[in-house]
Amino acid sequence: MTGITGTGVVRALGAMSGTSLDGVDAAVVETDGHRIHGFGPVAYRPYTPGERAVLRAGLGLWSGPEVGAAAHVVDMVHAGVLRTVPDVDIVGFHGQTLAHAPRAQGTLQVGNGQALADALGVPVVWDFRTADVTQGGEGAPLAPFFHFACAKWIGAVDPVAFLNLGGVGNLTFVDPSHDRPEDRGALLAFDTGPANAPVNDLMQSRLGLEMDEGGALAGQGRVAQGVVDAFLASPYFDRRPPKSLDRNDFNGVAALVDDLSDADAAATLTALCAAGVAAGIAHFPRPVARVLATGGGRKNPLLMDMLQQALGCPVVPVEDAGLDGDMLEAQAFAHLAVRVARGLPTSCPSTTGVRAPVAGGTLSRPGEASARTAG
């Protein structure tokens, strides 16, 4: 049976704009919603400095002109990059998270999936997180169900962890002996704390740079252990997963390094990322054979070395397992789009804390009103 709501393999195009605000990733996955059958073309469009400034101005806000301006940038840039990837059956459109407070206001990803469907002429799945939050979940992280499919794809036998090092860090424990991601014990997922965002913000505010390329500045500094200890005193690290964070939840860490030199501040903020991951992995039900790192942080040799020392198990880029660390998040939303279209869960109690497995998303077809498929 073919078609996006059938059972056969389709070509799904996923798009992701993460908390680091670097740009839009797009990637094709050939999937039936259960298993990966292959990977297709990828594309990337960086945000211009002006576009990035508009998005930064909307961070943490729930409404207002800044949110509207950010939404316009998101829609425009996504439409442009997604048009460069032809011959797809469905699009998974994450949008841009501006605010995330699942136990208060909810979660906000700007971007209009119906407008995108009309522009591209293909069905678009979007608003992935709202249904999960509505049913008691944190709404994040959502990549774990794709991580489960990836573990199957690479032929993993023993438990493995996926570590995403974007603006915020998150971990997924995967036991590939299970048949379905929603099976009890198959997954455990949660945010570990800030990853690249504090260092990026430091580089921007002090030096006018977008990032500490390769950890070069941090490598010249010394870690202020007292700052690391103060950071780990946050009750978040003792809280049992699943749990999630917004990019701004640890805004206070910037003040912790105000009195440090540029190099020492960069080194200390890099160490905070590794410390948060180490605190997180202590919550795993079983040891893992290795940690597969994805996201921009995997390209930072200093951070990877800190993680290797802190975790006590191999920490390697996902490329070592034949995966694409630059596109894994975009690929995840391609895979999840097919699951939503077919009524399959995209989250479960052990990944977001939702009360029961839920297929969260809105399916918009070109020229039609949006119809909630789940939630």
Mean pLDDT per 10-residue section of the chain, whose length is 375 residues: 85 91 95 98 97 95 97 97 97 95 87 96 97 92 96 98 92 98 97 92 93 96 97 94 78 91 98 97 96 95 97 96 95 98 97 95 86 42
What pLDDT shows up at residue 370?
Answer: 46
Cβ atoms of residues 292 and 163 within 8 Å: yes
* Cβ density class 209-236: b for 16+ within 10 Å, e for less: eebbeebebbbebebbeebbeebbebeb
Tokens of 4: 């996006």
**Residues in Cβ contact with 231 at an 8 Å cutoff, skipping those fewer than 6 apart:** 193, 250, 253, 256, 272, 275, 276
Cβ atoms of residues 99 and 58 within 8 Å: no
How many Å apart are CA 352 and CA 139, to the nearest integer? Answer: 6
What pLDDT shows up at residue 21?
Answer: 85
Amino acid identity for residue 37 in this structure: H
Do the domains spanning 10-139+327-345+355-372 and 155-321 agree at the CATH topology level? Answer: yes
Cis peptide before 242 (omega within 30 of 0): yes
Fold classification of 10-139+327-345+355-372 is Nucleotidyltransferase; domain 5 (3.30.420)
How many Å apart are CA 73 and CA 350, to the nearest integer? Answer: 34
Cβ atoms of residues 52 and 69 within 8 Å: no
How many Å apart are CA 342 and CA 31, to the nearest integer? Answer: 12
Q: What is the DSSP string of 324-343?
A: -TTTHHHHHHHHHHHHHHTT
Q: Domain locations in the chain?
A: 10-139+327-345+355-372, 155-321
How many Å apart are CA 272 and CA 201, to the nearest integer? Answer: 14
pTM of the model: 0.92
What pLDDT shows up at residue 246?
Answer: 65
CATH code, 155-321? 3.30.420.40
Q: What is the DSSP string of 114-161?
A: HHHHHHHTS-EEE--SHHHHHTT------THHHHHHHHHHTT--S-EE
Q: Which of 87, 72, 73, 77 is nearest to 41 (CA)?
A: 87
Mutual angle of helices 113-120 and 65-82, in 10-degree steps = 30
